[in-house]
Amino acid sequence: MRIFLLGDSFTNNKFQEEFERIINNKIIAENYNYDMFKYVNTFYQKQNYPPFHFSDWLKEWGYDVYNFAKGGASLDEIIHQFGNIPLDYEEGDRIILNLTHHSRFMWFLEENHYLQIIPGYHTPDENSTLYEFLQRQCIARDDNMCGGGYLKEVYIKFIDYLIKKHSNYNPIVWGPFLDINLHFEKNSYFFKVEDIFNKNCNSIYEETHKTINDRHYGIVANHAVATAFHTIINDNIISDYNNKNMIIKIINKIDKSKLINPWTDII
């Protein structure tokens, strides 16, 4: 079964990127100041294997996974990722779509380069007038989601339409940002991933007992997300993923896996 993953850095396998840097001996001094590198490197040095991302678990469980997600992606770029899905649909193909925050956007530069603009995140020159302009645009986009703004009234409706047009893939749509998720709760393919965490760790920051300041999911949360997707697909659930019985079933499977937080022993 083929699974096509679309999204931002929560779906892009950052664990694998940093692990490849380590095993290929491509570490530079700046990497040691990067929280994701700290997380992967510390874990690997202690455990002798890299942390598992949810896409790793899906591969481990026998799925043919194609990951087109990109770190820092805006909703625009995630929409463009649909173009990577092959036209030869096969029975059983699924899309897992990770939505991102609406304030992000693409900014095109000379020589065919572009930036993904993220609120509070740097452009090449943080002191430039351009940086201030781009950050104000992030704020304007956030404001535009209120009232009768274009993003809310037109853009969100288009994404909702795009999801439903891919109904033959029985997509699983989710996101780590609650304020964008609110606009898709009525879409029958939307999955409220936050409901499955229960008492489990969520971010790397929480998982490492606040020693590494990264807000992406840690290995415990990634395993929980993978278990949820696996359960939905394995049970052939094709929509309305948030019913009470399904959530209880997923949480029970997470609990039975007995995956504990290894960082209790690492730090």
DSSP string, 91-109: TT-EEEEE---TT-EEEE-
DSSP at 65: E
10 Å Cβ neighbour count for 163?
A: 21
User: Which domains does the chain show, CATH number per domain?
Assistant: 2-102+145-266 (3.40.50)
Contacts of 160 (CB under 8 A, 6+ apart): 184, 187
d(CA 122, CA 152): 26
The average confidence (pLDDT) of the chain is 93
| Res 111: pLDDT | 79
Q: In degrees rounded to 5, what are phi and psi of residue 229?
A: -60, -45
CB 74 within 8 A of CB 106: yes
| Res 66: pLDDT | 98
Cα separation values, 233 from 146, 171, 173, Å? 35, 10, 13
- Looking at per-residue confidence, does 126 or 167 come out higher? 167
What sign results for the dihedral spanned by CA atoms 24, 30, 36, 41? positive
Given pLDDT bands bounded at 50, 70 and 90, which one contains residue 5? very high
| Res 266: pLDDT | 85
Given pLDDT bands bounded at 50, 70 and 90, which one contains residue 121? confident
Q: In degrees rounded to 5, what are phi and psi of residue 246?
A: -65, -45
Q: Mean per-residue pLDDT for 18-41? A: 95
Given pLDDT bands bounded at 50, 70 and 90, which one contains residue 123? low
10 Å Cβ neighbour count for 1?
A: 14
- Looking at per-residue confidence, does 199 or 138 come out higher? 138
| Res 131: pLDDT | 86
Given pLDDT bands bounded at 50, 70 and 90, which one contains residue 200? low
Choose among 179, 177, 141, 156: nearest CA to 79.
Answer: 156
DSSP at 9: T
| Res 146: pLDDT | 86
DSSP annotation string for 110-162: STT-EEEE-TT---S-TTSHHHHHHHHHHHHHHHHTSTT-HIIIIIHHHHHHH
Q: What percent of the chain has pLDDT over 70?
A: 97
Give the best-scoring range by mean pLDDT among 116-120, 239-243, 258-262.
Answer: 239-243
